[in-house]
């Protein structure tokens, strides 16, 4: 039923979110779940930095350090960055292309719940015998030797949440191909939509290798297989290849949406069209394509031989070219623009030098001969935190500030936003810049402590102080969210006043049906074109009429819950007699829910013209 | 959008569409016959003792590729308009998979 303009109790709200298939509500779910995992990963980071603040520290034990370090990486990549990227995509992309929802609303909800249950499953390992402790890459020679169930939680949890990601990626591909409004040609799509499109294609091609690797690992660990055990004729390097054939595209899956977010922000707050739009599209596609040709640069020291190392080194350096194109385009977008330093814009401007440092150290690492020196040192840690934090996390924070009014109808406080930015920016460079030098001085990564008198003391102390700055920044952000939610004022359609793309033409938050009338897109930056011609709204492409909407459904939740239960069963099937039956029951729940989905005819419902007119009138006054 | 070409008014151009369908049916029957013929050749290539495995294996792989192309273009309608993007993604996937396997076979091999 239509949920327009109706007050509800807490229980009804929770039920609403459990069953929702609306992309805007799913975006909020992704934001909350991803945000919680981000805090969890941050907490783990703080434990790591406290342990490493002084030499010979015994804040935590060596074994626990391995668990914390593994879970920090795994949580941040799979359970924080990925869902937060999906939060941005869900919140914005359908509106940016003038659609009323994604192509498969039911699958959208299923994708979220699979990710959520996979993440919860992974984190329950803390309470059930110990977390995974073989690093986020979980190399087979380490993980096969791990005595606890931690690795099994890793394998099954990531399998479930990876399924969700794959579903999400396919959904966005189909949405962007099929659901664009009239006039929204490919070369008129906003840059964030383009980034989402290429990212989804990368997900489509990159996640299957991970799935295969995880299945092999599951067989080896739980069902007596020997894909990776050399003593039984397996090969431990196969895991490394499979992991990185997935893992390298994965970092582009994270960073391309970040590029997209910044492209929107640069254009908006420079009050200029994005410089070199078509070259930006070309660069995005090229980065996506090249991303599949370079996985072995993570494995230079494995012993693939000089020819393989040289070829993968050159291929890796080639990626710097399209990335450079993007950097210059952003600089030229700002050049001559009338720049406003809002919070998102500050992140965007800070992103350029931060990310360039990460890119330059990336090329250094790509030099295979030199990489033998950097490998497994803090230099690598510094490098990937510069690209992931300086690129992805900055983008997610910027995007959260930028689109917060569109998601929740209230602006985050700009003053507190800037405090967050400065604390986070200073803390970030304080933490990670010094780690380049710690690495060059020989400090190995993933080791739980270091000895005094080797020259690592000062650097590590500075790094830990920086981490506390970032934590302070995050706390200010949380305070900002609470204050805004309680006291913030409702804003209109275009709270930044310089919005260029379609999402700023609808009310904040957008109504359930997004557009009362599907808009006619007349060029790049469709809303800006209308504004420049003195119009208030978009040009409609259809008469006002009833809008067909999908029904909410609890089935995605049940399907995911079934897999969650099944994973528990199979994880313990060697230890307890109840394992296998519980696993089978879980699978039956999933298959049963899928069966019901197939046989129940669900035709959705209509929002009638009169309701829409009333809602639009209210929306215009808000 | 442009992809909705198959949602047409059924009464429009009945004559033309009937001719089109007949033509398509002819193509499907021809390719179906060819596919059965190719399958027979494949069985023959494996069964005939005059051919060594060095000839037979690449040969039947080649026949398999031809069959996949027939399948995609004549039975799954990739020859029709509006299938450019599925084709792009299919070939994109083929290229990525090929390059990966090729790298393994030529420079990496574990």
SS (H, E, C) A73-125: HHHHHHHHHHHHHHHHHHHHHHHHCCCCCCCCHHHHHHHHHHHHHHHHHHHHH
Residue A619 has pLDDT above 90, yes or no: no
Q: What is the pLDDT of residue B2?
A: 44
Range in A157-161, A184-188, A424-428, B2-6 the model is least confident about = B2-6
For B70-84, what is each residue's pLDDT tens digit?
Answer: 888 888 777 777 788
Closest CA to A508 of A423, A618, A382: A618
A547-549/A605-607 β-pairing? antiparallel
Is A121 in contact with A565 (CB distance < 8 Å)? Answer: no
Average pLDDT, chain A: 94
The pLDDT assigned to B11 comes to: 65
Task: For an interface test with B, give the residue of A239, A245, A318 to mutate (most B CBs within 10 A).
Answer: A245
Return the pLDDT at B5. 47
| Residue A281: partners with Cβ closer than 8 Å, 6 or more residues away | A187, A191, A194
Q: What is the 3-state secondary structure (H, E, C) of A107-170?
A: HHHHHHHHHHHHHHHHHHHHHCCCCCCCCCCCCHHHHCCCCCCHHHHHHHHHHHHHHHHHHHHH
Residue A621 banded pLDDT, cuts 50, 70, 90: very low
Q: Which residue has the higher pLDDT, A435 or B88?
A: A435
- pLDDT of A43 > 90? The answer is yes
The pLDDT value recorded for residue A317 is 95
> Each residue of A366-388: pLDDT tens digit?
999 999 999 999 999 999 999 99
Q: Which residue of A has its CA nearest to B102?
A: A293
Q: What pLDDT shows up at residue B51?
A: 84
The pLDDT of residue A237 is above 80:
yes
Q: Is A395 exposed, middle or buried (0-12, 13-18, 19+ CB in 10 A)?
A: buried
Helix (H) or strand (E) holding A559: helix A555-571
What is the rounded CA–CA span in Å between residue B101 and residue B95?
Answer: 10
Q: What was the pLDDT predicted at A381? A: 97
Across chain B, mean pLDDT equals 83
pLDDT at A5 over 70: no
Q: Which of A182, A203, A240, A311 to mutate to test the interface with B (most CBs of B within 10 A)?
A: A311
pLDDT surpassing 50 at residue A321: yes
Residue A591 has pLDDT above 50, yes or no: yes
* Of A190-204, A437-451, B14-28, the least confident: B14-28
Backbone angles phi, psi at A64, to 5 degrees: -65, -35
**B85 Cα to chain A: minimum distance (Å):** 8
**Domain boundary assignment for chain A:** 10-544+555-621
The predicted structure's pLDDT at residue B50: 84
pLDDT at B82: 79
Mean pLDDT over A160-187 rounds to 95
Distance CA A259, CA A323 (A): 10
Q: Kindly indicate the confidence band of residue A583, based on its pLDDT and cuts at 50, 70 and 90.
A: very high
| pLDDT exceeds 90 at position B20 | no
Q: Are A162 and A95 in contact (CB under 8 A)?
A: no
Q: Does A241 touch chain B (CB under 8 A)?
A: yes
The top-level CATH class assigned to A10-544+555-621 is mainly alpha
Which A residues 309-338 touch B at CB under 8 Å?
A: 311
Tell me if B107 and A180 make a contact (CB, 8 A cut-off): no
For A244-285, the pLDDT digits (tens) are 999 999 999 999 999 999 999 999 999 999 999 999 999 999
- pLDDT of residue B3 exceeding 50, the answer is no
B104 contacts in A (CB within 8 Å)?
Answer: 241
Give the number of other CB atoms < 10 A from CB of residue A21. Answer: 22
Which of B1, B85, B99 comes nearest A180 by C-beta? B1
Residue A3 reports pLDDT greater than 90: no
Task: Please state, in angstroms and rounded to a whole number, the distance separating the CA atoms of residues A181 and A183.
Answer: 6
Interface of A with B in 191-220 (CB under 8 A): 201, 204-205
User: Does residue B4 surpass a pLDDT of 50?
Assistant: no
pLDDT of A62 higher than 60: yes
Interface contact A363, partner B, CB < 8 A? no
The residue that leads in pLDDT, A242 or B77, is: A242
State the number of CA atoms in the 13 A half-sphere of A415 facing the CB: 2
Encode pLDDT of A404-421 as tens digits: 999 999 999 999 999 999
Task: Report the percent of chain A where pLDDT is more than 90.
Answer: 94
% of chain A beyond a pLDDT of 70? 98
- Residue range A63-108, pLDDT digits in tens: 999 999 999 999 999 999 999 999 999 999 999 999 999 999 999 9
Q: Mean pLDDT, to the nearest integer, of A602-619?
A: 87
Reported confidence tier of residue B110, pLDDT bands at 50, 70, 90: low
Determine contact: A290 vs chain B, CB below 8 A: no
Going by C-beta distance under 8 Å and a sequence separation of 6 or more, which residues neighbour residue A118?
A157, A158, A159, A160, A161, A162, A163, A164, A564
Residue A187: Cβ within 10 Å count? 10
**pLDDT value of residue A517:** 93
- Higher per-residue confidence, A112 vs B65: A112
- Report the alpha-carbon distance of residue A304 to residue A315 in Å, rounded: 16
The arithmetic mean of pLDDT across residues A153-181, rounded, is 96
DSSP summary character for residue A490: B
User: Any CB–CB contact under 8 A between B2 and chain A?
Assistant: no
Among candidates A205, A305, A311 on the partner chain, residue whose Cβ is nearest the Cβ of B96: A205
- Work out the pLDDT band at A225, boundaries 50, 70, 90: very high
| Closest by CA position to A313, among listed A353, A355, A372, A259 | A372
Number of alpha helices (DSSP H) and beta strands (DSSP E) in chain A = 22, 2
Question: Contact A177/B103, CB-based, under 8 Å?
Answer: no
Q: Residue B69's pLDDT band (boundaries 50, 70, 90)?
A: confident
Tell me the per-residue pLDDT of A466-510, one tens digit each, with 9 for 90 and over. 999 999 999 999 999 999 999 999 999 999 999 999 999 999 899
Q: Which of A398, A494, A381 is nearest to A438 (CA)?
A: A381
Mean pLDDT, range A356-366, rounded to an integer: 96
Helix (H, G, I), strand (E, B) or coil at A606: strand
């Amino acid at each position: 039923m239509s949920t327009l303009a109706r007050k509800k109790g807490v229980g009804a709200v929770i039920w609403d979110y459990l069953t929702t298939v609306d992309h805007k509500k799913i975006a909020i779910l992704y934001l909350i779940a991803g945000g919680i995992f981000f805090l969890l990963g941050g907490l783990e980071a703080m434990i790591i930095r406290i342990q490493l603040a002084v030499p010979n520290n015994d804040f935590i034990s060596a074994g626990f350090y391995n668990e914390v370090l593994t879970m920090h990486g795994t949580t941040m990549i799979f359970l924080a960055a990925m869902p937060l990227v999906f939060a941005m995509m869900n919140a914005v992309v359908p509106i940016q292309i003038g659609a009323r929802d994604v192509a498969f609303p039911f699958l959208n909800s299923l994708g979220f719940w699979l990710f959520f249950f996979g993440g919860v499953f992974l984190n329950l390992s803390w309470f059930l015998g110990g977390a995974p402790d073989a690093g986020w890459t979980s190399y087979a020679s380490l993980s096969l030797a791990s005595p606890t169930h931690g690795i099994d939680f890793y394998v099954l949890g990531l399998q479930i949440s990876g399924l969700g990601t794959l579903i999400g990626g396919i959904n966005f591909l189909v949405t962007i191909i099929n659901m664009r409004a009239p006039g929204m040609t490919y070369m008129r799509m906003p840059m964030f939509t383009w980034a989402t499109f290429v990212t989804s294609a990368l997900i489509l091609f990159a996640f299957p290798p991970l799935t295969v690797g995880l299945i092999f690992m599951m067989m080896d660990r739980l069902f007596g297989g020997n894909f990776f055990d050399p003593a039984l004729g397996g090969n431990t390097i196969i895991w490394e290849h499979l992991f990185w054939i997935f893992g390298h595209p994965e970092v582009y899956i994270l960073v391309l949406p970040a590029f997209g977010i910044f492209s929107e922000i640069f254009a908006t707050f420079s009050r200029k069209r994005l410089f070199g739009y078509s070259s930006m599209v070309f660069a995005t596609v090229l980065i996506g394509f090249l991303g599949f040709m370079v996985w072995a640069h993570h494995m230079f020291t494995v012993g693939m031989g000089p020819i393989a190392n040289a070829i993968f080194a050159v291929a890796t350096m080639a990626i710097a070219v399209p990335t450079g194109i993007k950097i210059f385009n952003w600089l030229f977008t700002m050049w001559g623009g009338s720049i406003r330093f809002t919070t998102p814009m500050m992140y965007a401007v800070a992103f350029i030098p931060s990310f360039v440092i990460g890119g330059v150290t990336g090329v250094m690492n790509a030099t295979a001969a030199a990489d033998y020196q950097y490998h497994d040192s803090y230099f690598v840690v510094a490098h990937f935190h510069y690209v992931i934090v300086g690129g992805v996390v900055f983008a997610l924070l910027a995007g959260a500030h930028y689109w917060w009014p569109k998601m929740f109808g209230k602006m985050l406080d700009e003053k507190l936003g800037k405090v967050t930015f400065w604390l986070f920016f200073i803390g970030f460079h304080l933490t990670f810049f010094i780690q380049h030098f710690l690495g060059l001085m020989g400090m190995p990564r993933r080791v739980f402590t270091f000895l005094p008198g080797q020259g690592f003391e000062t650097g590590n102390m500075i790094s830990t102080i920086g981490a506390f700055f970032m934590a302070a920044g995050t706390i200010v952000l949380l305070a900002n969210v609470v204050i805004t939610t309680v006291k913030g004022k409702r804003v209109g359609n275009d709270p930044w006043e310089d919005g260029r793309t379609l999402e700023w033409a609808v009310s904040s938050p957008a109504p359930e049906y997004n557009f009362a009338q599907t808009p006619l897109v007349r060029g790049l930056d469709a809303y800006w074109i209308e504004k420049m011609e003195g119009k208030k709204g978009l040009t409609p492409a259809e008469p006002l009429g009833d809008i067909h909407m999908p029904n909410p459904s609890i089935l995605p939740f049940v399907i995911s819950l079934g897999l969650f239960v099944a994973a528990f069963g199979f994880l313990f099937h060697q230890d307890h007699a109840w394992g296998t039956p519980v696993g089978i029951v879980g699978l039956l729940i999933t298959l049963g829910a899928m069966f019901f989905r197939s046989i129940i005819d669900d035709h959705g419902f209509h929002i009638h013209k009169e309701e829409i007119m009333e809602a639009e009138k209210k929306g215009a006054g808000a | 959008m442009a992809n909705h070409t198959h949602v047409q008014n059924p009464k429009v151009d009945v004559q033309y569409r009937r001719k089109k369908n007949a033509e398509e049916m002819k193509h499907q029957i021809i390719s179906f016959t060819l596919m059965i013929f190719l399958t027979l050749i494949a069985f023959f290539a494996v069964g005939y003792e005059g051919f060594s495995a060095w000839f037979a294996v690449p040969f039947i792989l080649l026949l398999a590729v031809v069959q996949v192309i027939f399948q995609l273009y004549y039975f799954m309608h990739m020859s029709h308009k509006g299938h450019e993007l599925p084709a792009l993604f299919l070939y994109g996937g083929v290229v990525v998979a090929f390059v990966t396997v090729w790298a393994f076979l030529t420079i990496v091999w574990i």
